[in-house]
């Protein structure tokens, strides 16, 4: 792996301070403190219902937080719609169920946001889109519709669609959980490639192999809290918290 390209800078990309969130009276996220440097690749793991997806969805305001402070790329996330739209156009997101737009072709999926949000001319947006579709290795599918592609291809299109906005941070919300085993690899390969280029990434995933290979920090969450975080080697070989040990024994047990 190209170690040089994977250097983490001292520049701060995301700051989260004492962030709390409730669904009604249910306390989903409790006192989350997290600082992400530019170029960091963070894997967030944890049992289902531990709040890991909710955490990254708070970063681009798909979920509202009720207490605490989130700052992304120097912009503080408030209820101001202008700030939210600014952050969203800087932060790419990839979903578990791809969420491609089924009424648009692959190419249109990729050019839509650059044309309407960034006001990029159509020709230029299409060139960018083809560049990123080539990067995720499916340029030949550009004129098909999402429904004609396999799950793995759709997820790679979703990654290309996010990249077309030239984001500085990428969020991955269980990107391989809805895929057949043989398609997981093609998506992970794409993500590894992104990491090697120095993209700041936060991934919620159960792919521990990916975490070991790419992440420079693994965060373990349970009951809405960060229970343990460490660099991957230490995290997997020498977990401290009992809950982490149990989780790792279950997930790596077979």
| Min CB(92)–another protein separation in Å | 8
**Residues between 155 and 174 that touch another protein (CB under 8 A):** 161-162, 165
Q: In the bound complex, what is the minimum distance in angstroms from residue 105's beta carbon to another protein?
A: 8
Kind of pairing between the strands at 12-23 and 26-37: antiparallel
User: How far is it, in rounded angstroms, from Cα 142 to Cα 128?
Assistant: 12
User: How many residues of this chain bind another protein (CB under 8 A)?
Assistant: 28
DSSP category for residue 9: P
Q: Which H or E run contains 63?
A: none
Decide: 232 and 211 in contact? Cβ < 8 Å.
Answer: yes
Nearer to another protein, 96 or 225 (CB): 96
Residue from the set 117, 197, 233, 251 that interacts with another protein by CB under 8 A: 117
Residue 111 makes contact with another protein by CB under 8 A: no
Rule CB under 8 A: is residue 89 a binding residue for another protein? yes
Stretch of 34-42, 109-117, 130-138, 177-185 lying at the interface with another protein (CB under 8 A): 109-117
Select 12 or 62, whichever has its Cβ closest to another protein: 62
Options 70, 113, 169, 208; binder of another protein; rule CB under 8 A: 113
Question: Which residues, numbered 39-78, are part of the site for another protein (CB under 8 A)?
Answer: 60-62
Interacting residues of 165 by C-beta distance below 8 A, sequence separation 6+: 89, 92, 113, 114, 117, 118
Residue 170: strand, helix, or coil: strand
Q: How many CB atoms sit inside 10 A of residue 69's CB?
A: 13
Asked if 85 touches another protein (CB under 8 A), the answer is yes
Rounded Cα distance, 215 and 47, in Å: 19
Instruction: By CB under 8 A, tell whether 181 contacts another protein.
Output: no
Q: Is 121 in the site for another protein (CB under 8 A)?
A: no
| CB-based contacts of 29, cutoff 8 Å, min separation 6 | 19, 20, 21, 51, 54, 55, 58, 65, 224, 225
Q: Are 12 and 203 in contact (CB under 8 A)?
A: no
> Rule CB under 8 A: is residue 128 a binding residue for another protein?
no
User: Within 13 Å and on the Cβ side, how many CA atoms surround 151?
Assistant: 14
Among positions 3, 25, 26, 81, the unique one binding another protein when judged by CB under 8 A: 81
Q: Does 102 bind another protein (CB under 8 A)?
A: yes
To the nearest whole angstrom, how small is the minimum distance from the Cβ of residue 168 to another protein?
13
Binding site for another protein (CB under 8 A): 60-62, 81, 85-86, 88-89, 91-93, 95, 97, 99-103, 112-113, 116-117, 145, 147-148, 161-162, 165
């Amino acid at each position: 792996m190209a170690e040089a390209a994977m250097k983490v800078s001292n520049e701060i990309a995301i700051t989260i301070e004492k962030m709390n969130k409730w669904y009604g009276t249910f306390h989903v996220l409790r006192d989350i403190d997290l600082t992400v440097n530019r170029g960091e690749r963070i894997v967030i793991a944890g049992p289902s219902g531990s709040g890991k997806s909710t955490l990254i969805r708070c970063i681009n305001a798909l979920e509202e937080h009720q207490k605490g402070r989130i700052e992304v790329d120097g912009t503080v996330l408030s209820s101001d719609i202008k700030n939210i739209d600014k952050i969203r156009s800087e932060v790419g997101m990839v979903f578990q169920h791809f969420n491609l737009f089924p009424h648009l072709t692959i190419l249109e999926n990729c050019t839509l946001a650059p044309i309407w949000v960034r006001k990029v001319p159509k020709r230029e947006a299409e060139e960018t889109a083809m560049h990123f579709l080539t990067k995720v290795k499916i340029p030949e599918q550009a004129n098909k519709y999402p429904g004609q592609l396999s799950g793995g291809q759709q997820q790679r299109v979703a990654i290309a669609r996010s990249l077309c906005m030239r984001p500085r941070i990428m969020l991955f919300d269980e990107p391989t959980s809805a895929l057949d085993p043989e398609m997981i690899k093609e998506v992970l390969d794409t993500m590894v490639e992104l990491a090697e280029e120095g993209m700041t990434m936060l991934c919620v995933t159960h792919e521990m192999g990916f975490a070991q290979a790419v992440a420079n920090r693994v965060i373990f969450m349970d009951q809405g809290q960060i229970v343990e975080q460490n660099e991957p080697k230490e995290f997997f070989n020498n977990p401290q918290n009992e809950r982490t040990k149990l989780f790792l024994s279950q997930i790596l047990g077979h």
